[in-house]
Structure 1
Amino acid sequence: MLKVIYPNNLTLIYKQTHGKGIIAGSIFIRGGSFEDGTEKAGLTNLTLKMLLKGSNKYSDYDINKFFEDSGGYISSSSGEDFSNIEFATTVDNFPKAVEILMDILENPLFPEDKFVQEKGNIIAQIKAKKEEGFSIAFDELRKVIYKDTNYQYSPLGTEESLNKITLEDVKKRWNELLNSNRIVISIVGDASFKEFENQLYNFSKLPKKDYFSFPKVDKIIEDNPCVTVHREGQQSTILIAYNAPTLLDKDYIPFRVLNGILGSGFTSRMFQELREKRGLAYATGSYFPARLNIGTVVLYIGTDPKKREDAEKGMREVVKSLKEGIKEEEIKISKEKILGTFMMDHQTRSKQAYYLGWFETVGLGYQMDKNYPNLIKKVKLQDLTKLTTKYFTKSSCIIVSP
């Protein structure tokens, strides 16, 4: 394992493995939909999708065929805080993969016909989400808990904002993102760093522009009355959001364990109490995203419309039960779930590369990939009891129901 910072300030993390000749990587770019703004919501996501539609030397067909023929893949995505290109190939094909990646990064074509097509695809995706109770509820919840911030819209954007985005906007956005100060590249594969040192040095040629740091958004969830959104269907969806630690907060690791007790999996209190004991839920749990700004935990339930009031009351009662006491056995089970998932994720080189790059990108350092399991194991009961009164005080609620 090694970390290299090139003259252009681009960070490379390389981990050698031993296996069947596979190499995988993630290219992280600091900057996601939080930079889009209301008028251009969805711009970064659209830009990342367009990135793989062809470059000076390679058509989109050539790009996809190369990675697929070598038993690998290439994909791009964008979230709120960062953007990402993931790829995998054979060790023998890695030099060619780097050549293609460099041409994609430096010389994307952004063809007009693909631009129109991709906008249409994303708009269709947005419309499809409107058929899902959880997606509708979460989009409405965003508008409440992230109000007046650039987090209030999904990275996909809206139909209205996408229709305003031009091809020139996409080109300009990529020019902003293509900044070596923003980029972390992580590679995991069955070859030594020295074997590909010369090829990897090509990434040092990417342009260095202004220094970038993630913005700090100071906003907390306030008590808000439940907002009800009516839609056709046979199910009610309820989301209740509470404040939670941000990714760099000292409470983040203990809260991850607490969330496991609250609503992660079949052994959680929400599943056991609301579904198994009371029969109130088709599906239930809690969602605790790793966020650099505006830490949030979201409780959710899908229920019969006739049981809507009981379901909402039950969700709040489960939260209250955390304040009344937590058992050591619950802590043990939660830790096992977290560590088991973490270890399973690390079975592939692609996921190993992702975690190493992600930890480095968000500011925790790639070493966190090794330290994370030990930090989870060290969480104690007294760490959790403090969190129940610190965070579960104010809430915002969205109900989507017939």
Structure 2
Amino acid sequence: MPQNLTSYQQQTIHRNVLDNGIVVLAVENPAADIIATRIFLRAGSQWEPREKAGLSNLLSAVLTKGTEQLSSIEIAEKIESVGAYLSADAASDYFLLSLKTVSRDWPQILQLAGQILRSPSFPEAEVELERQLIIQDIRSQKEQPFSVAFDQLRQAMYKNHPYGVSVLGTEDSVSQLSRSDLEEYYQTHFRPDNIVISIAGRVTPEEATEQVERIFGDWLPNKTPLPTKILPSVPFQPYQIKKPQETKQSVVMLGYLAPSVQDAEFAGLKLLNTYLGNGLSSRLFVELRQKRGLAYDVSSFYATRQSTSTFITYMGTAPENTNIAIDGLRAEVERLASSSLSEDELQVAKNKLLGQYALGKQTNSQLAQVYGLYEILGLGIKFDDQFQQDINSVTPEMTQAAAKRYFLEPYVSLVGPAEVIN
């Protein structure tokens, strides 16, 4: 029977744990006649062997292409006949099955999701087709300067850590993947005690839990313990990586190793990212594009990661401005360590970040995604409120201390005409 009921924050989030270990999160939001569901699994690319990189992504591509009872065409017809949405995705830190439909059809679509999760058939022809499509996608990315710059930066920073490889995998690794690899990965990770089901929409928490219990309650957990994840360390060895490519612009990226989402300095670095590279009013955009005209595109991003993350700034610039772009990006980042933000600058960053955070929880799909993500990452549903409190409590001194700690010598990734980057 369900247990551990938790009510929390302005929206009441009900948390139940079924007897088989499935965690059910439910938020009643009757504003629209839609129910969104996110089914998270503790899987994803960081659970893959290095030589089988791309395995979880391939599984996400073929998971909905057949079950023991239904063909891929029959699955598609069931979804499209009621105008519903269902898809599978793989990320570094989790695997996800997403569905959305009107409340009347939700039990039917959730039942279909249950069949897909519990009895996929992995048809050989579908596996081969999706494998070839992924390889084409990998090859296509090698022609895109931004993707090339990011890929070589990621490999340089993470070395042998799974984050060092794209979720897609590599052309070599994907070429070697087989149906038996998918079955082994599925048997290892797809089990009820490894699942979080997050539901938001026009449904009561009691009804939501009852439906999950009806469809998934008899799914027995595997007696074999879940595999222990042992990740390699991420050494700090910054250097410059270059990739000659005949393009009309150079791509310059600076990368800094940064803390995971569980770290106390996570909030401060999120604010620095907002100040530095978030939007048309950000420091990088104003200083390097508007005032100096150096950038076609300039920004920064700091990924929310379960393990060691990265803080990255980048610029697309005319080839002749490549060296100036490197110096400009470095100067703006290093400035954050040498002088603190003013109270006004920090408050503007807080208002922007918290405003965007609130806008990211407007729809049922967004609510189901946010709460399910926090649960699967091990943060718990209270992190939603804790994060906002942490943001409000950050001081200028705290942001400067974080910058001094993490914005040391950067990894540098360059892609552009050979005569320029060399």
Which residue in 2 is equivalent to 1:280? 294
C-alpha RMSD over aligned residues: 1.6
After superposition, what is the alpha-carbon deviation per residue over 1:40-67, rounded to whole angstroms, capped at 9, x for unaligned? 1101110111101121233323333333
Determine if the alignment matches structure 1 residue 401 to structure 2 residue 416. Answer: yes
Structure 1 gap ranges (5+): none
2:216 match: 203
Q: Which of 332, 342, 351 pairs up with 1:336?
A: 351
Q: Retained in 1: the 8 A contact 2:79–2:85?
A: yes
Report the CA distance between 1:144 and its aligned residue.
0.8
Whole-angstrom distance in 1 between the partners of 2:227 and 2:387: 26
**2-side partners of 1:77 and 1:27: how far apart?**
10
Which residue pairs with 1:99 in the alignment?
111
CA contact (8 A) 1:255 1:384 kept: yes
Corresponding residue of 2:378: 363
Change (3 A) 1:22 1:241: same
Q: CA deviation at 1:141?
A: 1.0
Q: TM-score, normalised by structure 1?
A: 0.95
TM-score by length of 2: 0.91
Shift of 1:388: 1.4
Q: Is the 8 A contact 2:371 2:381 kept in 1?
A: yes
What displacement does 1:261 show? 1.1
- What is the rounded CA distance, in whole Å, between the counterparts of 1:45 and 1:292 in structure 2? 18
**Which one is further off, 5-14 or 367-376?**
367-376
Q: 1:237 to 1:120 in 2, by over 3 A?
A: same
Shift of 1:373: 2.6
Say yes or no: does 1:128 pair with 2:140. yes
SS for the counterpart of 2:281 is coil
* Partner amino acid, structure 1, of 2:258: A
Q: Deviations over 1:335-385 (max 9, x none)?
A: 222222222221210110000000011111012224433332222222212
- One-letter identity of the residue aligned with 2:359: M
* Among candidates 34, 44, 52, match of residue 64 of structure 2: 52
- Displacement of 1:217: 4.4
Between stretches 89-98 and 301-310, larger displacement belongs to 89-98
The equivalent of 1:318 in structure 2 is: 332
Q: Which of the residues 190, 197, 206 maps onto 1:194? A: 206
Native 8 Å contact 1:41 1:157 kept in 2:
yes
Whether 2:390 is the aligned partner of 1:375: answer yes
Match in the other structure for 1:41? 53
1:220–1:243 Cα contact (<8 Å) kept: no
Is the 1:24–1:349 Cα contact (8 Å) retained in structure 2?
yes
Gaps of 5+ in 2: 1-12, 418-422
Q: Secondary structure at the match of 1:93?
A: helix
What percent identity do the matched residue pairs reach?
31
Q: What is the Cα deviation at residue 220 of structure 1?
A: 4.1
* Structure 2 partner of 1:183: 195
- The residue type equivalent to 1:270 in the other structure is L
**Deviation for aligned residue 1:212:** 5.4
How far apart, CA to CA, are the structure 2 residues paired with 1:277 and 1:206? Answer: 61
- Report the CA distance between 1:98 and its aligned residue: 2.0
Rounded to whole Å, the distance in 2 between the matches of 1:92 and 1:67 is 13
CA distance in 2, matches of 1:244, 1:74: 34
Q: How do 1:2-401 residues align onto structure 2 when only pairs under 5 Å count?
A: 2-201=14-213, 202-209=215-222, 210-211=225-226, 215=230, 217-224=232-239, 226-323=240-337, 324-401=339-416
Q: Is the 8 A contact 2:42 2:95 kept in 1?
A: yes
* Alignment: residue pair count: 401
> What SS does structure 1 have at the residue aligned with 2:61?
helix
